[in-house]
Structure 1
Amino acid sequence: MSNMHVPARASLSRRSFAALACGLMLPLSLLAGGTGMASAHEFKLGDLEIGHPWSRETPAGAKVAGGYLSITNHGSEADRLIAVSSTISDKGEIHEMAVNDGVMTMRQLPDGLEIPAGEKVELKPGSYHLMFMGLKSQPKKGEKFAGTLTFEKAGTIEVEFAVDAMGGKTEDHGSNGSH
Structure 2
Amino acid sequence: MVQLPALAGPAAPVEITDAWVRATAPGQKVGAAYMTLKSEVDGELIAADSNITSSVEIHSMSMKDGVMQMRMLQRLPLTAGEPYHLAPGGFHLMLFGLNEALKPGMSVQLTLRFRDRAGNSFEKTIPAPVKQAVRDHHH
TM-score range, shorter-chain basis?
A: 0.7 to 0.9
Does the residue aligned with 1:89 lie in a helix, a strand or coil?
Answer: coil
Q: Which contiguous aligned blocks of 4+ residues in structure 1 show a shift greater than 4 angstroms? A: none
- Superposed counterparts of 1:1-179, under 5 Å: 45-75=11-41, 78-110=42-74, 112-153=75-116, 155-165=122-132, 167-169=133-135
Q: CA RMSD in A?
A: 1.7
For these two proteins, the number of residue pairs brought into alignment is: 123
Paired letter, 2:131:
D
Deviation string 1:32-77 (CA, Å, 9 cap, x unpaired) is xxxxxxxxxxxx94431111210111001001000000011233xx
Q: Do 1:48 and 1:73's aligned partners in 2 also have CA atoms closer than 8 Å?
A: yes
Distance 1:66 1:131 in 2: 5
- Structure 2 residue ranges without an equivalent (≥5): 1-9
Deviation string 1:2-56 (CA, Å, 9 cap, x unpaired) is xxxxxxxxxxxxxxxxxxxxxxxxxxxxxxxxxxxxxxxxxx9443111121011
Deviation (angstroms), 1:146 = 0.8
Deviation (angstroms), 1:94 = 0.4
Q: Do 1:142 and 1:162's aligned partners in 2 also have CA atoms closer than 8 Å?
A: yes
- Structure 1 residue ranges without an equivalent (≥5): 1-43, 171-179
Distance 2:12 2:44 in 1: 13
Q: Do 1:88 and 1:138's aligned partners in 2 also have CA atoms closer than 8 Å?
A: no
Report which of the two has the higher share of helix: 1
Distance 2:50 2:13 in 1: 23
1:109–1:168: structure 2 CA closer, same or farther, 3 Å change rule? Answer: same
